[in-house]
Structure 1
């Protein structure tokens, strides 16, 4: 039951974007569509899970003085793998996400989970925590991207829902990310209090 709680806390109780307000740079920067949000979320999830695995395995060998730099090197390794695979096999998504892919290295969610959880827990717990937090992050980015895409252009995952002429330009632009995120946080807070 404890493992299930570790997994689900990333979705509801400690959602990185809606509750902890971590990783807002990619949340606001790349969520112009649901596909971009999902792609960024899944890339971050892969890095988060793999970094948690390595950190939980090597935690006993790293001196305290170089703990954080070591974690950053581990994270950067997996970000490089994601970047190269995405550029080779999903070039359209790679171009859409652009600079935000390398910025996963400094995403406070990834480094925070490595430091606060993986460095203090066993391998299985670290995998479950990374998957739960990463998928919660993916869900949040996909929801925000879907909301912006739907309200801004009348589409969802590239499928036309209503004529583009009825879309609200503000949701396609950067301010729409702030507005959409604010409304999603307010709705989630209201649901959690009920």
Structure 2
């Protein structure tokens, strides 16, 4: 089972990453990643919905008929998103104001319903929770990386206003590059799409190199036995 969990985590963080592999949730990815702080906040909110929805779907998978499964899942996800929306409004109000409508739009994030259909409805509660957490952290990592790069290149800062948006305990994350005003293009949508393209190309190149090394290693192991 530990090997299965390792595979689930690897799938969520890398192989089936919501942004870098499946190219889902492009709307929030481009809209909220003008800073690392925004990307981190949006990613964590989505992760909370993913984990809880996967767990609940796994718990009710034997009691909901296939005819009404999708509507039930949508209502369940919408309820969870409403709870997250209200919680952020109450306890992270500044971040709530920055993310705005995109919190409510978590309900139409294809990754959430997709994981409910592809994984949670077929697996147990523990595995579904791990899958939701891995997928959510992969999504959070992708948003944070894109946000940090766009923020750094566009404004010369890292995690700007983290103490205001996430709380005083996050003040240590804030950094500013002295003497650099930034390139506005990176904050705008064209810069975001260009950066995402470079990141996707980099991920593909890393995967090809890993495949080539694995193939060479397998060939090296097979040669002596063939001889």
TM-score normalised over the length of structure 1: 0.97
- Counterpart position of 2:56: 54
> 1:33 and 1:184 mapped to 2: Cα distance?
16
1:38 is aligned to 40
Once residues 188 and 161 of structure 1 are traced to their aligned partners in structure 2, the CA distance between those partners, rounded to angstroms, is 27
- The aligned residue for residue 191 of structure 1 is 206
For residue 146 of structure 2, the aligned residue among 138, 144, 147 is 144
Aligned mates of 2:10, 2:40 — CA distance in 1: 18
Question: Which one of the candidate residues 13, 16, 23 is aligned to 2:15?
Answer: 13
Paired residue for 1:79?
A: 81
Aligned length: 193
Q: Which has the higher contact order (CA 8 A, sep 6+)?
A: 1
In 1: Cα distance, 2:124 partner to 2:194 partner: 39
The DSSP-based 3-state class of the residue aligned with 1:41 is helix
Deviation at 1:163, TM superposition (A): 3.0
The match for 1:160 is 176
Greater gyration radius: 2
Could you give the per-residue CA deviations for residues 94-137 of structure 1, whole angstroms, max 9, x where no partner exists? 01111110110010000000111001111011001000010000
Q: 1:180 maps to which residue?
A: 195
> Structure 1, unaligned stretches of length 5 or more?
none
**Counterparts of 2:101 and 2:180, CA distance in 1:** 28
Contact 1:155/1:162, CA 8 A, preserved across alignment? no
Runs of 4+ in 1 over 4 A off after TM superposition: none
Does 1:108 find its partner at 2:124?
Answer: no
CA distance in 2, matches of 1:76, 1:164: 42
Q: Deviations over 1:146-173 (max 9, x none)?
A: 01000000001122124342x1110111
Cα distance in 2 for partners of 1:176, 1:92 equals 26
Match of 2:184 among 159, 169, 180: 169
Name the Cα RMSD after superposition: 0.9
SS in structure 1 at match of 2:14: coil
